[in-house]
Amino acid sequence: METLDYVPLRLKKNEERRLLAGHAWIFSNEVDVEATPIRPLEPGQPVTLQDSRGRTLGTGYANPNSLICARLVTRDADHPFGPSLLVHRLKVALSLRERLFEEPFYRLVHGESDGLPGLVVDRYGDVLVAQITTAGMERLRDALLSAFEKVLRPSAVLWRNDSPVRSLEGLDLYVQPATGPIPETVEITENGARFQVPLLAGQKTGWFYDQRDNRVWLRRLSTGARVLDLFSYAGGWGIQAAMHGAEQVTCVDASADAVAQVEANARLNRVDDRVQALAGDAFEVLRRLREERARFDLIIVDPPAFIKRRKDLKEGTAAYRRINQMALQVLARDGFLIACSCSQHMAADALEKQVHAAARHVDRQMQILSRGGQASDHPIHPAMPETAYLKAILCRCIGQ
């Protein structure tokens, strides 16, 4: 049995319906604070969740300082939330990835979808990069390291606990080696291409594994094409386009470090003679390319989230339309556009609507050829739409 000290957290009448339907979050206004006060609890406090009549729904953890005041981790009374459950869930997550992928390069843990809310782990061979976003998981940080050791025996573990989401839980932001020497870069393979991925200085947890399946589109589209890869980071799209026969690839990123990484990865794959990397704001680069009357046969628009919070929806939606409209202005006649959004608050049909509106504004007819989402190592919890965040559409834009 676990040694954690669980306290009861009781819900108001009928507030258990969402949990019974499969969701795992409890909001502060759903708790019967007269029966079980929230405020006295410590951030990350292990709790036994109860319905309004006191019947146990499961165990998890609470944080009185967060709007999501508790998260249900397990409904199994015999295996409560705690260190041994971490080991079990990690083994289950690993078995799925080993079945899906031949090489050890993938997202190993994807939060609620893998039964470990507040935890993301990316695997780079024998190096793990982990990100904790909740106080409940932060309290079990040492137990997580023990679980990693028991299940995977990694040579190194890096905490990339610098996500702004941690501030909502009252947690500090930091990047810190946990075990072993952390290499400056690690090498991965994706769809036959090799990439050097920066860990300490890279974006988020190092690599965007979630676009792996969508990048397979490049095999059919790249031969002989002039390609523009916007928000390229380390070249995940552009390098693969070059390897599939693109005539010329231009990668654009605001980060000089990312541009240097593109150049290094182009050399690694021996396509540096056809890959050009530019440092600059994507909107400004597109404006300049339009003035130069540049044209591309394939353009990838894969920006960071323009909508980080629900209140950003209007402004962020306009930004998606604007960036895709500007991309269409340098897209060759009957060219292909890959438009993406990683904003959880933007629905897939909303992205399509904005891209279509952009196409009509510049007098182009859009055909949607394929729709994509996050790769299978980023599973979606069917009761939690919040876990489905990535949208990608492949379209042909006729005219001009």
Alpha-carbon distance 158 to 126, whole Å? 12
Q: How far apart are CA 378 and CA 374, in angstroms?
A: 6
395 is catalytic: no
Catalytic residue among 69, 251, 342, 397: 342
* CA atoms of 72 and 78, how far apart (whole Å): 15
For strands 127-132 and 156-161, give the pairing: parallel
Record the tokens describing residue 337, joined without a space.
Answer: 């556009």
Query: Greatest CA span in the chain, whole angstroms?
Result: 70
Question: Residue 7 belongs to what H/E stretch?
Answer: strand 7-10
Classify 249 as helix, strand or coil.
Answer: strand
Query: How many C-beta neighbours within 10 Å does residue 31 have?
Result: 22
171 token code pair = 């947690």
| DSSP assignment of 45-58 | EEEEEE-TTS-EEE
CB-based contact 232:303 (threshold 8 Å): no
Burial 211-246 (b: 16+ CB within 10 A, else e): bbbbbebbeebbeebbbbbbbbbbbbbbbbbbbbeb
- Rounded to whole angstroms, the Cα distance separating 275 from 263 reads 8
Catalytic residues: 342
